[in-house]
Each structure stands twice: as structure tokens, then as C-alpha cells.
Chains A and B, each alone.
Chain A
Amino acid sequence: MKEQLANIRAAALAAFEAAADTAALDGLRVQYLGKKGELTAVLKQMGKLSAEERPVMGQLANEVRAALEEALEVQGKKLEAQALEARLAAEALDVTVPGTPVKLGHRHPMYIALDEIKEIFIGMGFTVLDGPEVEFASYNFDKLNADEGHPSRDWSDTFYFDTDSRVMLRSQTSPMQVRAMETMELPIRIIAPGRVYRKDEVDATHSPMFHQVEGMVIDKNVTMADLKGTLNTVVEQLYGKGTKTRFRPHHFPFTEPSCEMDVQCHKCGGVGCPTCKGDGWIELLGAGMIHPHVLEMSGIDPNEYSGWAFGIGLERTAMRRFKIADLRLIFENDVRFLEQF
């Protein structure tokens, strides 16, 4: 019997080892360990043994069973691993095949540029205001020091809705200065982006409708040095630390002193190139200290308060930001253009 057990053990272990897959292994389990299996058959002969032999043989038989079960387990795991490996190999994909497309929409490039500006100013405590585009000439002109007779009031320059030239399409976002001064508590820090309209035929650099961002600060002891410092900070955030700027005297009816702010040409570093038209500088925005009379007209005492304001053209900023050569692309809305941004 001892011999029988040893034979079974050897044969089974060899068979397990040779099993090609889990199904074959299962068959072998039944063959050796099942109810009608070979080991069971041997054990059924135990009754014929003597009382001394029986425990010895029993122990031996249990050892054989344990060995077989362990071998089954080991071989089973091994076969499973092999099977998994084979399956994964079969499932391998060509990873260079493109993924299933997810179509995302695109923000209009001009609003991308606007968002950058808005975020900078919001971070500095500015509120974003919106206002009417159909506006009173008094807000667009009179209360901004552009009296009757100012050339921009001409019908050749500005769109009007009535023969008295009283209601118009705003030609600048500056009337938002007046609206803010008339309605808001002091101190005021606002920006007001929006559409403006001028009677220009459409071409590569003109459009009868375009966008500006107006900005204004009114508080006690506000100085031109603040204007410079704040706008320099904005430009550094927009164009990178260390961007060189310069302020040139200019003229706007509603600011005094007035200035224009240039940034050094990023292309040539100020030497002069086609991008900056040989100037070395690119005109960025107009600004100035709010004219005392403008403050006064909106009910703010210029002896107590002062302020500064700026206006920046959005299209040009976006065009420069994304190197867009023709303004018409902005309003054409060709998806092949829009989806580049």
C-alpha cells in the first residue's frame, strides 16, 4: 500500500506538471482526488490494514493528499497566470490609432484676451461693469468735456438715432465713467468692457463695431504716479515681468494730464522692426488723470477727490496676443479660425 501511495504521488505530480490548462488540471484533480479518484480508492483499502499499520498509513495518505493539493494549487495559479498573459497579449491594441474624438467648443480669441485683462483687474479690487450701448450723447460727450463742436460728434463719425443728436451708439466705453461716478459709492475702482461703434468702413484694421475696456479709479490722494504704477503692474502681468513701458504726453478731452502708454516691441526689443513700424514701441492704451471738470460735472469735488482712467482697444490687444493679421477675421466667425484658440 505504501508503494501504491508513492506511485500515485509520483504519477499525479508528474501529470499535474504536464497539465496544459486549467480544464486538464481539473480533470486530473478528479482523477486523483475525486470521490472515485485513485487516492480515494487506495484509502478505501485502509480497512483491510492492521490497527498498527492504519495510523501510519493514514498519516502517509494524508501527506500524499496534502502534497497533491498543494501541487494542484501551485500548478493552478501558474496556469491562470499563463492564461491571463495569453489573453492580454491577444488584447493588445495599436496605441497609435487616434482616440475617440471629444469635441470641445472654443472661447472667441477676443474674449480670451478680455478675460486675461479682467482677471488682472479683479485681482486688484476692480469691479466689472456693464452698461448701455445705445447711449445719451450727454454721457458719451458732454459730461466727458467733449462739447458741442467736438469733431467726434459729427454725423460722419458717430451713429445717431435722432435728428437732435441726443441718442447715439456709444463711440467709446468712457460714458461708463460717468455712469459709475453718478451711481457708485466712493472710492471707485471699475473696469467696463464692451462694444463701441464708430462710422468706419470695414477693412483690415477698422470695423464699425469694436470693443474697448474702460478703467477708472477715484479716491482721495490718487496721483499720476499711481496711474503709472498700476498700469505697469498690469502690463507686467499681461506681457511678463520686466516688460518695458513708456508714457508719452497725449490729449483726451476728459483727462488732464493725459498720456499714451507704449510697450517695448517684443519682436525686436526696441530696435525697430516691421511689427512696431520701426518705432521700437507699440502703442497700448490711452490714459490720464480725470479732468477736474469731469469730476465736477458728475458731482464729485475735485478738491477732495482725484482719479485716473484708461481705455484700451480690445481687438488690437487680441490681434497682437494671437498674431491675427486682419481684423475682419474677428467678426467673420469662421470655425476654422475660431477653433485655433
Chain B
Amino acid sequence: MNLSRKWLNEFVEISVSDHDFAEAMTLSGSKVEVTEDLGKEISNVVVGRVVSMERHPNSDHMWVCQVDVAQESPVQIVTGAWNVHVGDLVPVALHKSTLPGGVKIEKGKLRGEVSNGMMCGLSELGLDERDFPYAVVVPAALLNDYKPLDSEKPSIPANIQPGHKIYGPVVCAKLLEVMPLGNGTFHTCADIGEATVCPDTVCSNLHVGDLVAYNTKTDSYCTLADLHAQQAEFPHCIPDGIFIIREDCKPGDDIKPVIGLDDHVVEFEITPNRPDCLSMIGLAREAAVTFHKPLNLHTPVVKGGGEGNLIELLDVETPAADLCPRYTARMVRNVKIAPSPKWMRERLRAMGVRPINNIVDITNYVMLEYGQPMHAFDYRYVKGGKIIVRRAEDGEELTTLDGNVRKLNSSMLVIADEHRAVGLAGIMGGENSEIVADTVDVVFESATFDGTAIRKAALSLGMRTEASAKFEKGLDPMNTLPAVDRACELVELLGAGEVLDGTIDILNYVPQPRVLPLEPDKINALLGTEIAREEMVRILTALDFQIDGDQVTVPSWRGDVIGMADLAEEVARFFGYDNIPCTLMRGQTTLGGYSQEELLERQLGTMCRSMGYDEIITYSFISPTCYDKIRWPQDYWRRDSMKILNPLGEDTSIMRTTTLPSMLEILTRNYNYRNQNVKLYEVGRIYAPGGEGGLAIENKVLSMGAYGSDMDFYVMKGAVEAILKDLRTETVTYCTGSNFPEAASYHPGRFAEVWCGDNCLGWFGQIHPLVAQNYGVDGELYCVELSLNQLANAKGCDPEYVPLPKFPAMTRDIAVVCEEAVTVGALETCIRNSTKGLLKEVSLFDIYRGKGVEEGKKSVAFNLVLRADDRSLTADEADEEVKTILSALSSELGAVLR
């Protein structure tokens, strides 16, 4: 919401700086986004009067002007514009002035003639013709400016003389006299050879001595269009020029007040609970209370008396009463469509609204002033003189003011006559009843509609308008009547038409002011303050709440105030949030901390980072094609995912049931960035359908991923082992062969399941080359997926001290040769199982294939640590134990000492 500070002063006089205004309003609850000085880019630009002008001696199209700018003597300014005449008031950018767009003007020489500044056109001041409709330039085609398109075949001879025929009734004329009449027209006399003619014209580029095309039939000078000429043929006869000012001003005046750029505009962010502040009056009320100033509101007075009987001319029905709490209408006859006055145009423009014509401008003006959207219909298109507020038919069509055909349905509300819709209620009028130049009779509609219905209709039609944005917040039905009266008052003020007596006013609701108890103690208890009751009453009264004893009547426009807490906020806002003391929490102490689950997450994260893994954050939603990319079987039940019905796109349309695609995506991205040796982890959430009441079953996964020269299956396995060791998980086994569908994502020979007893904690391995290929990666990727629930269950007990060994250990290295098919795991298990109790540790230290070992076999070497708890072991005892172990290896696995 924009606010013109000049306009604001009509309601409440506030003279503080923009900065102080913005800060105070923000702290009382109307947040200021930005303030803007409309004329900040313009400096040293004044009104000047052209006192004389001569053709430039060295140019065929420039003029040297002497301009009175209320200095000791006139300043000389050279211009290329042809619409200037002696006596004109023009904007003059003096030496060392600035204009919008960062333009700087300094004195200089134009083809040898000194120019002490510049006369400005509208666009150079940041304005356009809508701001000053009278400044439109209509150029005549000057024959002395003619440049034939083909120099061989000119349409007009170069030596044409007054009286020469150009075509038909059009002859060459030489201007003898040009006299501006001050209202945009010029009195002229011209020589057409054997006669002199004296037409009046609006063409403003004429000067004595110019040759023009004169139409003897219509007694007028020809424009380019009249001659069917192209612009290139008359390069300087353009519909643009200097802004000839017709305002009440004099030479030397600062230009900014003259053109309305002396205003400052404040942009507010209005929260949705305060639609009343989407208006000048609403914001003025807030400003008045904020600055402790009186608020001057005006009650519209309509003279009326227009010819005709409103009741006979117009009938309103509201069959959709539930969606239209109030419908108010008045009528204006004999409308004269014209531009609205400068003050109104300036205010509209300052508020960011484009002036169009007096009637449309009035509706916009009232919307800004009262916050009540208004609509104006052309009465002659309201067939049968009947307005019906009804639900649209399914499939009904309406062409809205923006020229688009809208297909409607029965959830939308239309304003219709007996035959067809003429407007989309609360959103936009119909093209078929638009106010046009020859509109004679106008109906002003001032109504309120159901906010949700308007919002939904605007949303489904994709046309959120200024009006719908207001209606959707729920407007005050009490506001429709003053607003329509204000519109009619403005019509009379502008002389734009004759207002009929009477108002059509349909109420489909019962006005019921809300009354609340005033409870100062409760308010202070909630705020932690000691604000006096009188202060509360002062604030609330200033906001137009009515206090009667202990009762507070809430104003109709404050639908957001429904209880004590709301009153507390009103009081607090103007008491000042900053004046509320700061206290610390009291009462019963509570114990803070992390949940067990989060403690596990933190432990896992710390462990991963200590091994060089960087933490990542990935999106929870993925593309359905991800399951194909990771080669999950088509019929695998985990493909069944929570599906977002209105996703941003297919790529983010389902909730992941696995973190693998997310990890692969990030690995791939880093791979494509050529990042070396990447290690990543995430404790990520997965979402399976089937939770309580239609929610998801949300579980977490420790997802790790890596690639690089320092990475292989066993490095990854080492990381898993380290994590499980950190968790003190016991009886961990690594195996294959459970035929988990998830294994399809992994290299079949480099995939291991991680088990703790009978529980599968997850798996890890090298990503299947086909999966890697699906992600466009030709290197080896490694991933780990471990279930957090399973890890939590597999977590070992807190450690308990075991006495350190009192007696020394003996170590023995053994190397056995066995078939390739015999796994290291099997050998190790066999060794552990065959000990008679002296074996304390087994560790693999070498696997050898090649020279000295038979083809198809391998040599596996272990380091054994043997120790007795109650004595020093003898060499014989140790050898005996090793012998037992070796014989078990030999008999059970065919592994013989090398």
C-alpha cells in the first residue's frame, strides 16, 4: 500500500521527516518498506517564459530562444523542438541541473550558439501524456522539413511555392502569422498564392515562414496522416516536444510543485488482518494515534437532483446473498467523460495508479481513500435496468476489461443483467459494460463480497487484482455507503455528471457491533506491564473504539479484534513494544537437552566427520524416475511413495523412500565439478506411506557416499566398522545372499549386508556400474545405507572396565593355503572356534596369490595373539594351541599350512 504524504496531510498534519515517519509508523505496527521522494532526481529545474526566438543560423531545424527565468536577464537556450512559441511557459533545466534517470544538464554550445540549459519535454521530467493530457503534440507536416524517400522521385518538388497544388484540394501555404491562444490552439494566417486564409489549428509546430500543406476544402493544415506520409519523410514533425505548461505558475518557480513531484510516497507492508489499512483513511487513523494528532475525517455530501427516478431506472437482486453481504449503488446521468483534474491525477499517480478518465479515476480515488473497491458500469449495457448478483453458470463466458475471455464456473460470483454477466464480482469489470468516451449514464457499485469466494475465483482465474486483493481479506460492509457517496460527491465536484437522488442498498447481513469487556489487569498480566487504565482508554478511543464503562465496542472495520489479547495488542502497539520491560522466565525449572535419537545422530555425525566425510543436506522429494535409475525392481513395494498432488515439477513430486538417489545426485554433481576424493554423509529422512491417519512413516537413514583414489570397498567397510565399533555394537557380521531388492543398485560382487545378530542394519558397497552410468558417472561410487532405528537397537552397552592382562602374550603368525572359494571370514571363524581358550586376537595381515601358490588357491596369513590369564605362557603351550587351530583349518576348510 502506497501513501502520499501530501494527501495524508488532508487528514492529519504530520511534518516529520520521511525517516522519522517511517520509524514511528513501523513501531506502531504499520511496517514501512520504503519511502520515496518523487522529485528527488529533479533539481534546479524552473518555470521559464519564452520571450523571443529566432531560427538557428547554422541549422535548419533548431531555434535559439531567450527565456525569462526570473534572473537579471533572460537566458539563451537552443532547442530542436518546434512546438515552442513566444509567450509559452516551459520547464527549464538550468545550468547544473539534474533530471530523472541521472541526467545532468550543463551549459554548452549547439552548432556555435550558447545554450544555458535545456527546455524539457514530459518524458524528460519522468512524466507522460496521461499525467498532462493537454500536453499532447499534434504536428503539421512542414514542407520545409520534407525529405523525399527517393531523392530521384520527390512527391513534393523542392522549389514548391505558396499556391502550388500538392494534390486534390491540398495546396502549399506559407505562414504569415501564428498566434497562440493559450488553450492549445493557434490563430494563423497563411498565403496560398492568390489568397490568404486564416484557420485556427491545434498543430503546435507552426511558425511564421513555414511552408505547410493546406486543405482548401476543410480549411485546415495537413498532418502526416492527412498526407499519408511516413515519419522519415518529415523527420522533425514528430508528435513530441517541449511541455508547454498551462498551470498557475510564473517564471522562476520551482518546477516540482507545478508538476506534482513535490510529494513523498511511503510504501507500507500491510498484514492480512488489517484490510482497513489498505486505505488513506485507515493509515491516517494509525498515523494520527501514532503522532498524537487529531484525525480530520470528512463526511461526503451529495447534492443530487439529477433527472430521473433511481428506483425506476435500476433494480438490484442478490440471489447469491451468502456471498454478497452488502450491495450499494448510485447512478449518475449525463456524464461528461474527460480527464480528471490535476490534483486528482497527481494523487493517483503518487499512489501508483494511472489516471484514465474522470469516472474511472473517481472509482480508483475512492478505493484508495476509503479502501472500498468501486466499480462503474455503463448503464446502457445493463439490459433491462437490472443488476443481478449471482453465481456464474458452469461454462459461462465473460470478456473482462483486460480483453481476456474468462471461462467461469458456479463457484464464482458475477454481476449480471437479465441476459448476461457484465462483471466478475470483486475482481474485474466486463468489457461489455466498460466506461467509454461516449458513456452517458453510469452506475457506481460499492459492495462487499465473501473474501474466500473472491480469493478462490481470482486464484483459479489467475487474475489477482487490486480490488480482489482487498475483498479477499474481508472488507467492512459499513464502508460501502460512505464510499459510494464520496464517489458521487466527487462527480459533482468535478462537474462530471448529474447524480440521481437516492441509493440502492441491499443488506444481506445483520450489523452487530462486537462488544468486549475492558480488562486492564488481564492486559497488564499478559504484557508484563503496568499500564494505567486511563492510558488504555486513551489509546482505544483514539482508534475509534467506543468505551462505555467496562465495555469496549469494536469499530466495524476492525474485524480482527475479537478478544482481550487483541485489545492488549492495540494497547501495546501505541504504548510501544519497546516500552514493555524485559524479564527472564520464572517458575518451575525444566531440564533441557537432546532426545536419545538426536544424541545418536550427533554421535554418528561426529564419527563421519572424523573420518573425513562432509555433511550434506538434500531435498526430501525426488523424481519417480529415480527408482528406475537405481535399478529397483519394477514391482518392489518400496517404490510405493507419498505423492504430492501439486508438486513444483515432476522432479520433486514424490517423497523419497530411500536416500540413495539423493546421495548419488550430490556425488554426481561433485564428480561433474571435478572435485577429487569426495566423501559425504547425511542423516536423511525417508517417508513411507501407511502412517497413522494418512501420514507418512518417517524414518532416518545414515547415508554415506564417496569416490576417489583413496576409496575402495574395504576403505568403505573400514568406515562402517569404525562406526559400529564407536557404537559398541557386538556380533556384527558382513555377508551377502539375502537377495534384498536394494542390492540391485550395487555391484553384485562388491556389496555387503551388515547384520547385528538377526537384525539387518543396512548395507554398503560399490554402486552398480549401470546405476553410475544412469547418473552419467564412469568412475566407481561407493555408498552406505544404515537404518537409524536399527543402529539405535544395535547400540552396545556402556563399557565396563576389564582388568589389564597381568601376564605377557605370545604371538604366532600362520599362513595357510586354501581354495579361492573359502572366505577369510570362514577361516577366521574357524580359527576362533577351534581355540581352547588361549587365543585372544586374530588379525588378517596378508592374502597372497601367485608364484609358489597353486592356481585357484590363495595363501592367507593371520597374526594370532595367545595369552593365559593366570600364568606366563610357555612356547610349547602356544605351539600346541596353534597346532590345534591348524588341524581344524585343515580338516574343516582344507586350508593347510603353507
Q: In the complex the two chains form, what is the Cα distance from A341 to B678 in whole Å? A: 16
Contact B618 A333 (CB under 8 A): yes
Within 8 A of B (CB), among A203-261: 208-209, 217, 219-226, 228-230, 232-233, 246-251, 256-259
Q: Among A151, A208, A249, which residue has its beta carbon within 8 angstroms of that of B29?
A: A249
Partner of A104, one of B605, B609, B678: B609
Q: Are A208 and B645 in contact (CB under 8 A)?
A: no
Q: Which residues in window 666-705 of B have CB below 8 A to A? A: 666, 669-670, 673, 675, 677-681, 685, 687, 691, 693-696, 698
Q: How far is the CA of A31 from the CA of B673 in the complex (A)?
A: 75
Contact B527 A125 (CB under 8 A): no
Stretch binding the partner chain, chosen from A39-47, A86-94, A163-171 = A163-171
Query: How close is A199's CB to chain B, nearest CB, in angstroms?
Result: 6
Bound CA span A132–B697, Å:
9
CB pair A127–B592 under 8 Å, yes or no, is yes
Given A132-B698, A229-B582, check contact A248 B619 (CB 8 Å): no
Is A133 within 8 A of B685, CB to CB? Answer: yes
Give the segment of A21-29, A56-64, A72-80, A116-124 that binds chain B. A116-124
Taking CB atoms, residues of chain B closer than 8 Å to A219 are 585, 587-588
B615 touches A338 (CB 8 A): yes
How far apart are the CA atoms of A334 and B670 in the complex, in Å? 6
Q: Mark B197-225, 1 if CB is under 8 A from A, else 0.
A: 00000000000000000000000000000
A320 at interface, CB cutoff 8 A? no
Which of B528, B610, B611, B679 sits near A224, CB closer than 8 Å?
B528
Q: Are B566 and A232 in contact (CB under 8 A)?
A: no
Contacts of B593 in A (CB 8 A): 122, 127-128
Judging by beta carbons under 8 Å apart, are A225 and B528 in contact? yes
Task: Say if the beta carbon of A8 comes within 8 Å of chain B.
Answer: no
Binds A, one of B243-251, B297-305, B365-373, B451-459: B451-459
Query: How big is the B interface, by class?
Result: 35 or more
Kindly state whether residue B262 has any CB partner on chain A within 8 Å: no
Q: Which residues of B have CB within 8 Å of A161?
A: 642-645, 694
> Which of B270-278, B404-412, B421-429, B735-743 lies at the interface?
B270-278
Check B613 for interface membership: any CB of A closer than 8 A. Answer: yes
Contact B694 A257 (CB under 8 A): no
Q: Is B228 an interface residue (CB 8 A)?
A: no
Contact, CB under 8 Å: A246 / B614: no
Query: A251 touches which one: B274, B528, B565, B615 (CB < 8 A)?
Result: B274
Q: Does A330 make an interface contact (CB < 8 A)?
A: yes
User: In the complex the two chains form, what is the Cα distance from A230 to B580 in whole Å?
Assistant: 13
Q: Which of A123, A159, A225, A248 contacts B580 (CB 8 A)?
A: A225
The yes or no answer to A143 lying at the interface (CB within 8 A) is no
Picked from A106, A149, A217, A251, the residue with its CB within 8 Å of the CB of B614 is A106
Chain B residues near A123 (CB, 8 Å)?
A: 592
CB–CB A105/B694 < 8 A: no
Alpha-carbon separation in the docked complex, A199 to B644 (Å): 11
- B28, CB-defined interface residue at 8 Å: yes
- Are B459 and A134 in contact, CB atoms less than 8 angstroms apart? no
Which one of B573, B582, B589, B693 contacts A249 once the chains associate, using CB atoms below 8 Å? B573
Chain B nearest CB, measured from A20 CB (Å): 43
Q: At the interface, yes or no: B59 with Cβ under 8 Å from chain A?
A: no
Q: Which residue of B lies closest to A228 (CB)?
A: B582
Nearest-Cβ distance from residue B699 to partner chain A, whole angstroms: 11
Listed A/B pairs (15) with beta-carbon separation below 8 Å: A111-B617, A134-B642, A134-B687, A134-B691, A136-B695, A148-B452, A149-B451, A154-B455, A160-B645, A225-B528, A232-B582, A247-B578, A248-B31, A249-B569, A338-B615
**Besides A228-B581, A228-B583, A333-B616, 16 other A-B contacts (C-beta < 8 A):** A134-B691, A136-B695, A149-B451, A156-B646, A208-B621, A208-B648, A209-B620, A219-B585, A224-B527, A258-B569, A289-B526, A292-B564, A292-B565, A330-B617, A334-B669, A335-B670
